[in-house]
Structure 1
Amino acid sequence: MTDIITKLAEISPRYDAVFCDLWGCLHNGIAAYPAAVAALQQFRASGGRVILLTNAPRPKSSVIAQLDQMAVPRDAWDDVVTSGDAAQYAMLTGAVGRRVYFIGAEKDEPFFTDFAEDLAAVAAANPPITRVPLSEAEGIVCTGLAEDASETPADYHATLLMAKTLGLPMLCANPDITVHWGDKLLYCAGALAQAYEALGGQALYFGKPHPPIYDLARRRLALLDAKSDPQILCIGDGVHTDVQGAIGEGLDALFVTGGLAMDEFGPDVEAPDPVLLAPWLESKMLTPTYAIGKLR
C-alpha cells in the first residue's frame, strides 16, 4: 500500500541519500519549484546526500548549466547523473558500433564531445565515434527530436523505416516518452524509440527505469559517501520510469503525483485523492512506497 505524505521531512530520517528526478519534481523546464529546492536543501543539511537523477540525454555539465540558469542553488544537490551520461558510456564502448547516425537537437551536440571525468577516461581508451549518413551507419544515437517544440514521432517515420530496413540498433539516450515544458507537452527520445520498436527495430535504453543509470548513480554516490549499504529513496513523477526503476532496483520510491499525471488525482494538485490514486496505481501494476502531491 502506498502511504501519502505531505513533505519529505516526514520520512527523510530513514534515508542516507535520495535519487531525485528533475523535470516535474525540481523544475518545469522553465523555473525551479522553491518548495522542492528547500526540501532538498533541508535533507542535505541534515546529513543526507542528493543525487539528481534525470533522463536528460545530455552530459551532466549541460544539465548543471541549465540548473544554474534556473537559479537552483548548488547546495540543493551533491551530484548529477543523466541518462546522457549512461548512454555516453554505452556509445563509447561500442554498443551501436563506431559509425553512427545522429537523431537529435542542436542543443544535444555536446553528447559527442562533453564527457564527465569518469567517462573521459573511457573515451580516451577506445577508438573514436564517427557521425555518418544513415546509409553508412552501424547504429543510431537518438537524443530526441531535432525540433521538439514542433515535431512529433510521425515526422521520423521514413527515417526509422529505412533504419529498420538496414538493421541498425538505436541507442536511446532518454527513455522518457513525453515531458512538460511549462504548460506544453513535448515528445522525447523514448517516443522515437517506441515508434522504432513498433516498426520492428531494436532500441537500447540507458536511462530510468533501466539499470545502467542506477549503476552509475551508485558509483558516484560511493565517491561521496563511504557507507557500504546506504538507504536510498528514489523521487520522481514518472510511474514507468522513476517508480518502476526504483522497484526494479529494490529501492523505495516517492511518487510525485503532481507531475506527469497531475490531472488524475483530483482538483488539488498538492493533495492527491487516495480514492483516485489507489486504483490508478493498481492499473499500472506498480506500488510506490510513498506518494506526495508536490515535492516539498
Structure 2
Amino acid sequence: MTRIVQSLAEISEPYDALFCDLWGCVHNGVAPFPGVAEALTGFRAKGGKVLLLTNAPRPAKYVAQSLDRMGLPREAYDAIVTSGDAAQDAMFAGAVGQKVWHLGPDKDEGFFTEVPPEWQGQVTIEQVPFEEAEGMVCTGPFDEMNEVPEDYRPRFLLAKSRGLPMLCANPDIVVDLGETRIYCAGALAALYEDMGGRSLYFGKPHPPIYDLARRRLSALGGADDSRILAVGDGINTDVAGAMGEGLDVLFISGGLAADQFGDDVENPDPELLMTWLNARQRDPLYTIGRLR
C-alpha cells in the first residue's frame, strides 16, 4: 500500500539518485511548481544525483534551455535524459529508414539538426515529403494547441497502406500546458497502432530511456537500482516504467490525475487514491501531492 508523504526529504535518505519526471512534477509547461527547486537542490546538497528523465521529444540541450527560461536553476539537477535522446539514437541507427517524414511542430527541428557526437559523419538522415518517406518520425501534432489525433486518420491510412513504420519520440498521451491539456506524440502513435500500423517507442515506460539514464548516472558516479527513486505523475509512463525496471517510485498525485483525489491537490484523499491505484493495478511505494 502506498505511503502518503509530505516532502521528498522525509523519504530521501535511502536514495543516492532521483530519476525525476519534468512535466507535471517539476513544472506545468509554463513555470516550476512552488518548492520544487528547493526539494531538488536539497537532495543534491546531501550528495544525491538528480537526473531529469522526461518524455520530451527533443535533445537534452533544448530542454535545459526551456528550463532556464522558466527559471529552474541549474543547481537543481545534474543531467537531463530525454525520450528524444533515446529516439534519436534509434533514428540514426536506421530504425525507420534514412528518408523520413517528420510529423511534429517546428520547435522539434533540433531532433534532426542536433546530431549526437557518436553519430556525426556516420549516417545521413534526410527529411523528405510524405510521398518519398521510408518511415515517419513523430514528435507530436503539427499544431498541438488545436489538433487531435483523429485529424491524422486519413494520412495514417495511407501510411499504413505503404507499410511505413512510425518512430514515436514521446510516448506521453497528453500533458497540461498551464490550464490547457494538449495531445502528445504518444496519442498519435497509439492511433496508428490501433489502425494496424507499426509504432516504435523509446521513452517511458519503455526500457531504452532507462538504459540511457543508467549510463548517464554511471558517468556521474553511479548508483545501485535499489538506491534510485523514480518520481513521476504518469501512471502508465513514469510509474509503470519505473516499476517495470524494479525501481522505487514516488507518485505525484497532483499531476495529470490531480482531479481524481479530492479538492486539495497538496493532500490527496487516501481512500480515493487507493481505489484509483488499485483499479490500475499500480502500487508506488510513496505518494505526494506536489513535489516539495
Query: TM-score under structure 2 normalisation?
Result: 0.98
Say whether 1:24 aligns with 2:34.
no
Partner of 1:36: 36
How much does 1:135 deviate?
Answer: 2.2
The answer for unaligned runs of 5 or more in structure 1 is none
Partner of 2:48: 48
**Cα pair 1:257 1:291 within 8 Å, conserved:** yes
How much does 1:122 deviate?
Answer: 2.4
Say whether 1:177 aligns with 2:167.
no
Tell me: CA distance 1:91–1:219, structure 2 relative to 1, closer, same or farther (3 Å): same
Say whether 1:283 aligns with 2:279.
yes
Report the secondary structure of 2:258's partner residue: coil
> Which of the residues 239, 243, 248 maps onto 1:247?
243
Aligned-partner Cα distance in 2 for 1:135–1:114: 25
Deviations 1:12-45 (A, max 9, x none): 0110000000001110000111311110010000
Aligned residue type for 1:235: V
How much does 1:259 deviate?
Answer: 0.4
How much does 1:261 deviate?
Answer: 0.1
After the TM superposition, which residues 116-155 of structure 1 pair with which residues of structure 2 at under 5 Å, given as runs? 119-125=116-122, 127-155=123-151
Aligned residue type for 1:220: R
How much does 1:124 deviate?
Answer: 2.9
Aligned-partner Cα distance in 2 for 1:280–1:185: 21
Q: How many residues align?
A: 292
Report the secondary structure of 1:213's partner residue: helix
Aligned-partner Cα distance in 2 for 1:243–1:227: 20
Q: Which aligned segments of 4 or more residues in structure 1 are displaced greater than 2 angstroms?
A: 122-125, 226-230
Aligned-partner Cα distance in 2 for 1:159–1:123: 32
**Cα pair 2:226 2:248 within 8 Å, conserved:** no
Partner of 1:76: 76
* 63-72 or 31-40, larger mean C-alpha shift: 31-40
**Cα pair 2:168 2:200 within 8 Å, conserved:** yes
Aligned-partner Cα distance in 2 for 1:288–1:124: 44
**Cα pair 1:101 1:132 within 8 Å, conserved:** yes
Partner of 1:94: 94
Aligned-partner Cα distance in 1 for 2:143–2:271: 39
Aligned-partner Cα distance in 2 for 1:279–1:90: 38
The answer for unaligned runs of 5 or more in structure 2 is none
Report the secondary structure of 2:13's partner residue: helix
Deviations 1:35-72 (A, max 9, x none): 11110010000100000000000110110000000110
% identical equivalent positions: 59
Aligned-partner Cα distance in 2 for 1:11–1:56: 27
Deviations 1:52-104 (A, max 9, x none): 00000011011000000011000000000000000000001011111111100
Aligned residue type for 1:72: L
How much does 1:114 deviate?
Answer: 1.2
Aligned-partner Cα distance in 2 for 1:146–1:275: 40
Aligned-partner Cα distance in 2 for 1:218–1:8: 21
Report the secondary structure of 2:246's partner residue: coil
How much does 1:131 deviate?
Answer: 1.2
Task: State the Cα RMSD in Å.
Answer: 1.1
> Which of the residues 188, 191, 201 maps onto 2:187?
191
Partner of 2:230: 234
Query: TM-score under structure 1 normalisation?
Result: 0.97
Tell me: CA distance 1:228–1:12, structure 2 relative to 1, closer, same or farther (3 Å): closer
**Cα pair 1:105 1:147 within 8 Å, conserved:** yes
Aligned-partner Cα distance in 1 for 2:68–2:149: 31
How much does 1:158 deviate?
Answer: 1.1
* 207-216 or 154-163, larger mean C-alpha shift: 154-163
Report the secondary structure of 1:9's partner residue: coil
**Cα pair 1:92 1:123 within 8 Å, conserved:** no
Tell me: CA distance 1:291–1:227, structure 2 relative to 1, closer, same or farther (3 Å): closer
How much does 1:229 deviate?
Answer: 5.6
Report the secondary structure of 2:124's partner residue: coil
Partner of 1:64: 64
Aligned residue type for 1:250: G
**Cα pair 1:256 1:292 within 8 Å, conserved:** yes
